[in-house]
Amino acid sequence: MLDFAFIAVAAFLAGILNAMAGGGSFLTFPALIYIGIPPIAANATSAVAVFPGYLSSTLGFMQEVRAFNRKQLIQLITMSCIGGLAGAVLLLTTPSEVFRGLIPWLLLFATLLFALGERISRWMNRPVECQEKSNTLAVLAVSIYGGYFNGGLGIILLALFSAMGFRDLNLMNGLKNGLSFLLSAVSVSAFAIAGIVHWPEAIVMMITATIGGYAGARLARKLPGAWVKRFVVLVGVLMTLAFFLV
């Protein structure tokens, strides 16, 4: 019971974190490993646990998402679903030792990308509309990562949107959560078929992560954008250090 209480609290906080900044899997993934679940199975179970929270937090930003360009939205959704499936298949064929070794480097990359997102956008110096093809391909690549290892997905998506020229943090959060939900739905379906999900733990965490996701979306709308961005970078730095030290 203590184990279930521990992972329930971790999932609730992860839901809040995913809605506000991303990186919630860095709470659920270590929590599952802590209670004794192997890394690959912990990653799959963590992905199952947090993905409903993406939907509940997306609802908090529907006003901004509805106003987004419909054609580009469909392209982003398509790339996310394809990438999520490809990433899941890649995870299922990756040795556990390789997977464990890649985690801190991927986190470091994500954190640096988000911190330098605005500078990258200024360097590119092109409007979003002129980059439609490259943008969708970038989302595909990020979605493959998300299907492979969900941790830090929100940080990378926010970094990507920043580099693409987006400045409305509420729209960025809405797109981040919506795409995360869709690609995670595809990837967790593959994990379920493969039989590597620990369902009792996943169900408990799904419930509390969903509640946390909606609460986080409400909180994010009330905070200044600069605060949220600094919080994202702080989470990325702390989680990167944690995984390098493990």
Extents of the domains making up the chain: 2-245
Q: Which of 93-102, 126-135, 220-229 has the highest mean pLDDT?
A: 93-102
Measured distance CA(114)–CA(112) in Å, rounded: 5
Would you tell me how many other CB atoms lie within 10 Å of the CB of residue 22?
A: 27
So what's the pLDDT on residue 120? 59
36 or 114: whose pLDDT is higher? 36
So what's the pLDDT on residue 5? 93
Would you tell me how many other CB atoms lie within 10 Å of the CB of residue 1?
A: 5
So what's the pLDDT on residue 121? 54
166 or 142: whose pLDDT is higher? 142
Q: How many helices (H) and strands (E) does the chain have?
A: 12, 0
Report whether pLDDT(74) > 60: yes
Cβ proximity of 216 and 19 under 8 Å: yes
**pLDDT tens for residues 39-71?**
889 989 998 888 777 777 788 788 888 888 888
199 or 136: whose pLDDT is higher? 199
242 or 21: whose pLDDT is higher? 242
CA distances from 82 to 21, 46, 88, 142 (A): 24, 20, 10, 11
Report whether pLDDT(126) > 60: no
Report whether pLDDT(238) > 90: no
Specify the residue for token string 């679940």. 37
Q: Which of 16-20, 27-31, 74-78 has the highest mean pLDDT?
A: 74-78
Measured distance CA(111)–CA(82) in Å, rounded: 24
Measured distance CA(59)–CA(170) in Å, rounded: 11
Report whether pLDDT(239) > 80: no
**pLDDT tens for residues 162-207?**
777 787 888 888 888 899 889 989 999 999 999 999 999 999 999 9
Report whether pLDDT(130) > 50: no
Specify the residue for token string 């929590």. 31
DSSP-derived 3-state class of residue 245: helix
